[in-house]
Amino acid sequence: MNLVIRDNGKGFDTKAISTGNGLQNMLQRAKNSGAELTISSQSGKGTSVELVMPLPG
């Protein structure tokens, strides 16, 4: 399964130090479930979140 969510909002610097843990939690939960999560964003350009997860079968 491949899920992509994109927007054309203000974006953010993914390398900037954050006081929250939301992005790290998302990355860890994806890893724990055998999925891969990629978060790409650029200030002023928007954000893209892609989840690639194998389906049971």
**Which residue in this structure is represented by tokens 């954000």?**
47
- The residues, ordered by sequence, that sit 6+ positions from 35 with a Cβ below 8 Å of its Cβ are 51, 52, 53, 54
Q: Is the pLDDT of residue 54 over 90?
A: yes
Per-residue confidence band for 56, with pLDDT thresholds at 50, 70 and 90: confident
Average pLDDT on 13-23 reads 78
Q: What is d(CA 48, CA 7) in angstroms, rounded to the nearest whole number?
A: 7
**CA–CA separation, 6 and 39 (whole Å):** 10
Q: Is the pLDDT of residue 21 over 90?
A: no
Percent of the chain with pLDDT strictly greater than 90: 67
pTM, to two decimals? 0.81
Q: What is the mean pLDDT of the chain?
A: 91
Mean local confidence (pLDDT), 21-49: 93
